[in-house]
Structure 1
Amino acid sequence: MTLLLILLKRRYSWGASRHWRSVAYSAPMLWSSIHIPSRDYFDTPPNIHQRPKRIVETWLERSATCPLSVSLFDLTNSAESNPNPEKHPFAFEILAASRRLRSLTLAGDAELLLPVLQLHPADLPLLKSIRIVTPSDQIPSTTILEVPTLEDVALRITVSIDPLSLPLPWSQLRRLRLEFYRFWTTHGNEGGLDFDGALDVLRKCPRLELCEIRVNKYSAPYSGSSLGHDSSPIILPQLHTLILSDLEFQLQRWIPDLIAPNLRSLQIGNHNTSLGRSNHARLSVNLDLTRFTMTSLGELLESFPMVSHLQLVTSSSYFEPLSSEVDEFIPLLCPPYHLCPMLTDIEIVVPLEPSARVSDADVLALIKARMSMPNPLRRFQARFNRPMEFDVMPELQSFVSDGLQVDLEYPPRRRSYWAREGLDEPWSFH
């Protein structure tokens, strides 16, 4: 809004700017979204502190009756430093506008935000989206999670109870991001989600379109046959994005119960994906190989024949890798397996671990095999943990001429001898 007024002022005369400012002030939709940033409210003199409060009040007034999107980000202040700990300085403004809230983001001390977190569902008739972030040593009130109109939920909170017992309208949710921290009690470390619990979350949410779950609780390697575990089908007809991350799980076999015909992006593991997916990607899959056996990896790739973009990563893991040699996955993508017949884009990222080795010969064999298939590769990218063994590019020139993009990155070679070493440093005596 401020930027709009600056541009108008530069472009038009003062009279014209005043006209357009008047138009902006009389357009409630322009004021229907507000972000309240963090600042040290409790050590700020009252005369200075009142100015941002007036700005927020005026902003909300100009939104008239429009549904609101409100974001309050405050990881600076805490109840311990607040002389009036019963509420956050901006809690009243949010409470006063609660019946118009369509989207609410709260990041901060749970005790300070308690008046908002304890809002009754009747006070939030329009709320569809909520995001809550609290410090890892706090258990916030869950009353606000009972709102039946919620469709988009993101929680980064501490819970000592089973997260599945939270009063969310699970069956209505379309977008869900969960990061539950465990809580230390006299009985030990409680709460959090293990891998079986993550699958139970998926079972409770048949309307999901996007889901991201961090598995923060240790569980034995998932085999799909846990004693007493629910093995009913996980049917998610609208799911397009699924991310299962963190360090606390491994897969002895792929999830046989998952049915997601419209899945377009799948990520398994604790890594930041960098694989670019084009608008034409049928399915983009990003996998941390330390989570899989070769059997479970083969089962996954066989379950998703529409994979077009594949990123394979080996990351540091809480566990020992389930596969003894990371390069064992290479044959899975070559004849006679014929897995992923639509695959056009491969990225391999190998960190600095001696056990995680992919040779140049493996790379050459993989590219040649995929280029001989009816749907050949369009891009191959790899980052290695070792020097180049031999230059594969001459043997790939015919493919590159036909449009294949190849990007191979090796660590720089260490210089064995350099006569000027020490002469050009800032601390040099010369």
Structure 2
Amino acid sequence: MMVIKQEDNIKAERAGIELLNLTDDEKIVWDNYLRYNEWELEKHKSMAQKLENNPLTDIWRDELYYEIERTMAYMDTNANIERGRPLAHEVFKEELKLLNLDINYPFDSGKLHLINNITREKNISNSWDEETCEYVYNGLKQILKAKIQLAISGEKQLHSGIASPWTFYIHKIGLEGFSYQLLSILVLIFTGAIVLEGRRNRSNKLIEMLPEKRSYIIRYYYKVAFISVASVLIMTFILPIIFLGFRYGFEGLKNPTFVYKQSFTSFTGYKHVEDFWYYGLGKFYGIRPWFEGGYLPATVLTVYPLWKVMVLSLGISLLKMVFFTILGVGIGISFSNVVVSSFMLPITSLLYLVSQRFSNKLNFNPFAITSSWDIATGAASYTWFKSVVILLISIVVMHIIFYAINQKRDYVG
């Protein structure tokens, strides 16, 4: 269907040469643009045929290089040297040498952008203004940075539908909203339940009778809770990652991912619309809609390798686990009545879930810190730096409060 539509468009544009009363110079520009469209159509047919004839063969490299060629030509249609938008092969000169990629188009890519002048002068309905051309040019340049980096790394592009240990990890901490929220609640209730069970069966009395300071009791519960949570995380994350890695391979750690670099040192993110888009396993917000559907990555975004973003997201995940562990233990020891403590655990969980729904309106609320993966990429209301600061302060404040309560209160069943 797409091929038929493209063929019809090319026929209509060829007919337009006569209808628009173009000058000889304009006809050269128009014909050059049509040869670009025909080349793109033939490339698309050729790739589709490869995929059809080789269903069991992994030809992702061919697809990647096809996308690089295609995106470079598309970028050139929006170039304008006078306005600081050089041709794609000039922008990526060194990278193309590194890849030993010599692209020979059957058209003059340096003249593709001239078609915009004609469509504006002729008042053609789908003509682009300079602002749109600049937006598309910059967005395509960002996409090319990622694709070329992927080609240099020699890795296959990962996305949510590919079986991989890293896809599994990112699904759980980011792409599946319910997974990381459920895990946080489980840590909170599980650690609180450890303390409450000790109070119910009176085993806490054995700890109190030890010749230790009162601070030993809370340290003991912290230790037991952290060991228990670590065991659960090993079972739910580490073992599946190892299994998937041996089955599908550990490749993909160099996959390019768009991040907002300033997020790691700033309390504020970049200005964007409320809708997002995906590139690989990363999520980014657009600064304006793209008329072809979706969004293009903004120039303020930087390409990081997947492993680096995973490490940054892991830091947030660990802080959140420490936060909920201390909170669970604290609720378990802070109320003299076990029933009240038991009741506070689901209430706190509900407060957390509500805060997650309004994270963009709740400043400095540790419960409002959402997906660790989105925070690491910069696609969240809370920046990475802000999340770290809030979690660290919350952990210290909670510990001081629970420590003070522990010092003054006797444990009674």
| TM-score, normalised by the number of residues in structure 2 | 0.22
More helix by share: 2
More strand by share: 1
| TM-score, normalised by the number of residues in structure 1 | 0.21
Higher relative contact order (CA closer than 8 Å, sequence separation 6+): 2
